[in-house]
Chains A and B, each alone.
Chain A
Amino acid sequence: MHIIVCVKQIPDPEIPSAKFKIDPATKKVVPPAGVPPVISVFDERAVEAACQLKDKNGAKITVISMGQGKVADVVKHALSMGADDGITLQDSAFDNLDSYGTAHVLSKAIQKIGEYDLVLCGRQAADWDSGQVGSILAEMLGIPVVTIARNIQAADGGLRVERVLKDGYEVVQAPMPCLVTVSNEVGLPRLPTGMGIITATRKKIPAWTAQDIEIDPAQVAPEGAHTEIVKLSVPIRDVQCEIVTGKDAGEAAVELAVRLRAANII
């Protein structure tokens, strides 16, 4: 089985809110100084899901990531977890693409890779939280898609996938090739092993440009984007928290109950 996993590099989403900064003029997020970017949370789970399939059934895992600068770092991270090959997609034509443009670039890269049985994406990228690229990509590739998976098993020549629903889950049988978007329920990502890190460091990671995957920059030009961000702001929170105190924790707790009662909340 050949599994392609799409991973994105993002600013660390778990930094304290106080450190989060934007530039409203350019409508961009200012990456926090000194905090290295990370692999998007659900994409790391997608790598984990791919590794689980590899452990059980044997598979080759290829990781692809479109991005700028040190985007190879997230590919290396996936390699150190157990992926076999990695490719980055780097071209100034790929900067600031919307979901549709991103899916287009990924679809071209996947077509160049050629043979595959399964494409994995995260359920959503943990920066812009869109949750679109996986499904659009599947439509472009003309393959079935199963979204928000919590478990993926090889079965009956295809895949048996559990999808997270509001009040439970659904078990579906999908043929291959197909695309599955992965949720955190597949399990915590494995830690890279020492051996994995060494292999990852030595591995050559080709960087494909627009030309390599036959994309005419005009195809992904900003004027043609399907969506445009017209404003970016930081919401103002104006809640004043009333800190309830006492001579010790127990007394503060009693006082809290009394105040909630007085305010008719309980």
Chain B
Amino acid sequence: MDTHKGILLCGEIEKGRLAPITVELLGIGRVLADKTGQELSILLMGSDVGGLSEEALAYGADKVYVAENPLLEHYHSDACTMVAADLCRKALPSILLLGNTDIGRDLAPRLAGRLQAGLATDAVELDIDPDTGLLVVTRPVFGGNALASVMVRNVRPQIATVRPKTVKPAEKDTSRQGQVIRMVAEVASSTLKVQVVERVEEKVEGVRLEDAEVVVSGGRGIGSSQNYEMIWELARLLEGAVGATRPACEEGWIPMLHQVGQTGKIVSPKLYIAVALSGAMQHIAGCSGSKCIVAINQDPEANIFKVAHYGVVGDFKEILPAFMGKLKELLAK
């Protein structure tokens, strides 16, 4: 175990750039590396990603492993597990961090299985235990009703996936130097057991949730897709995005991609307006990073009032029209 050293990150690439979660991993990775006096490395997998090495170094990596192969152009579970496991066996990192994204959620437990390592998913806080020098991962459990701190004891690497938008992103410093290592990423399509047939991008209407400054979400209390129009209208008025709770999605009032929460999108807008939703912790997990939460609910006991900054108790059908009327007047000024 003592032969394992350093911190390795699994990078993600989005539209030819390092994904926001990767810049966040570089931020926390640097902090942990400095605390333990270890090296920070990052693995970039793709078809043509070498150009991003400089960026990764500027954001704080000491070493960049580049694994290029046409088969890695998009995330492929079998291929990426092979490449990342191979690197872990050679580089022997003590800590391995990934994003708790669609990629990291798939890759991390496979690596934990293949490397017989230890994993804690969906971290919102990472620290080093002063006594043992081991990683302490704090993660919401029971839908966010509790927080558990987890340590990996007997095995290596200590793997964690980090929830997006919970740690401070790294700052860029283009004067930083480091090492770039090209790996031989030998993945033959014949060794891939699962074949990707098709990737379908589903366009969400309006503003993207992740980028929005304002998000308006409706819950089960909205009652119909017709009533949901009011949520859309309010979002348009504030140039914001439309979110939803899981029941609202499952009722078919709005596509699944709009779901906010632990198993949906994580948003952190300036303003989050929660309409006719009870504020279950699994939902709040997706919006608790919002600067200001406004709740509209007819039940004064609803949990949402325990996390909101402003609230109105009443029927949204009466509240929203009056609210929008006044908003229009104020925004015109």
- In the complex, the answer to whether B150 meets A253 with C-beta atoms within 8 Å is no
Residue-wise, chain B 76-113 has the 8 Å CB interface mask toward A (1 for contact) of: 01100000000000000000000001100110111011
Whether B118 and A227, one on each chain, are in contact in the complex, defined by CB atoms closer than 8 angstroms, is yes
Interface of A is mostly: mixed
Nearest CB of B to A16, in Å: 7
Known: A148-B106, A230-B151, A249-B314. A138 touches B113 (CB 8 A): yes
Whether B187 sits at the interface, judged by CB under 8 Å, is: no
B155 touches A232 (CB 8 A): no
| Residue of A whose beta carbon sits closest to that of B74 | A170
Interface centre among A99, A254, A256, by most B CB within 10 Å?
Answer: A256
Residues of B with C-beta under 8 A to A178: 193-194
**For residue B129, which residue of chain A has the nearest CB?**
A230
The answer to the question of B141 belonging to the interface, with a C-beta cut-off of 8 Å to chain A, is: yes
Interface residues of B in 110-125 (CB under 8 A from A): 110, 112-114, 116-122
Q: Which residues of A, 187-234, contact B by the 8 Å Cβ criterion?
A: 188, 223-234
Q: Which of the residues B139, B315, B320, B330 comes within 8 Å of A266, measured between beta carbons?
A: B330
Bitwise, B138-166 to A at CB < 8 A (1) or not (0) is 11111111111111111100000000000
Which of A144, A232, A239 interacts with B193 by CB under 8 Å? A144
Complex: chain B residue closest to A15, CB-CB: B145
| Chain B binder among A58-66, A111-119, A124-132 | A124-132
Contact across chains for A227 and B152 when beta carbons are under 8 A apart: yes
- A-B pair count, CB < 8 Å, reads 268
- In contact, B154 and A168 (Cβ under 8 angstroms): no
Stretch at the interface among A74-82, A84-92, A240-248: A240-248
Known A256-B310, A257-B326, A265-B271; contact A226-B154, beta-carbon cutoff 8 A = yes
Is the CB–CB distance between B326 and A258 below 8 Å? Answer: yes
Our pick among B146, B196, B214 for the contact of A172 (Cβ within 8 Å) is B196
B305 within 8 A of A: yes
User: Is B205 interfacial (CB-CB < 8 Å)?
Assistant: no
- A82: shortest Cβ distance to chain B, in Å? 20
Residues of A near B121 (CB, < 8 A) are 129-132
Collect the chain A residues with CB atoms within 8 Å of residue B326's CB: 253-254, 257-258
Taking CB atoms and an 8 Å cut-off, the chain B residues in 280-312 that contact chain A are 280-282, 291-295, 300, 303, 305-312
Q: How many angstroms between the C-alpha atoms of A127 and B281 in the bound complex?
A: 12
Please state if B196 and A184 are interface contacts (CB–CB under 8 Å). no
Within 8 Å of chain B (Cβ to Cβ): is A157? no
CB pair A183–B197 under 8 Å, yes or no, is no
For the complex, give the distance between the alpha carbons of A178 and B195 in Å.
Answer: 13
Distance (Å) between the CB of A176 and the closest chain B CB? 11
Residues A13 and B312 in contact, CB atoms below 8 Å apart: no
Q: When chains A and B are docked, how far (Å) is the Cα of A253 from the Cα of B147? A: 35
List A contacts of B120 (CB < 8 A).
227
B238 located at the interface, meaning its Cβ lies under 8 Å from any Cβ of chain A in the complex: yes
Q: Nearest B residue to A135 by beta-carbon distance?
A: B109
Q: Does B180 contact A (CB under 8 A)?
A: no
Q: Give chain A residues whose Cβ lies under 8 Å from the Cβ of B141.
A: 127-129, 232
Contacts of A229 in B (CB 8 A): 148-150
Name the one of A27, A100, A259, A266 contacting B271, with C-beta atoms under 8 angstroms. Answer: A266
Q: Are B142 and A20 in contact (CB under 8 A)?
A: yes
The one of A137, A146, A166, A224 in contact with B102, judged by C-beta atoms closer than 8 angstroms, is A166
- Cross-chain contact A16 with B303 (CB below 8 angstroms): yes
Query: CB distance A226 to B114 under 8 Å?
Result: no
A249 and B318 contacting across the interface, CB-CB below 8 Å:
yes
Contact A225 B318 (CB under 8 A): no
**B81 nearest in chain A by CB position:** A139
Inter-chain contacts of A227 with B (CB < 8 A): 118-120, 150-153
Which residues of A come within 8 Å of B, CB atoms? 11, 13-14, 16-18, 20, 22, 27, 29, 98-100, 103, 123-124, 126-140, 144-148, 150, 160, 164-175, 178, 183-185, 188, 223-235, 237, 239-245, 248-254, 256-261, 263, 265-266
With A18-B303, A253-B322 already in contact, 15 other A-B pairs whose C-beta atoms are closer than 8 Å: A17-B303, A130-B121, A132-B121, A135-B112, A168-B199, A170-B200, A226-B155, A229-B148, A230-B151, A239-B293, A239-B309, A249-B314, A250-B322, A252-B313, A253-B326
14 of the cross-chain contacts (CB-CB < 8 Å) are A13-B142, A17-B303, A103-B113, A139-B114, A140-B113, A160-B197, A165-B102, A168-B257, A174-B195, A178-B194, A226-B118, A226-B152, A244-B310, A253-B321
Q: Give 6 nearest A-B pairs by CB, closest first.
A: A139-B113, A135-B109, A226-B118, A136-B113, A249-B314, A253-B322
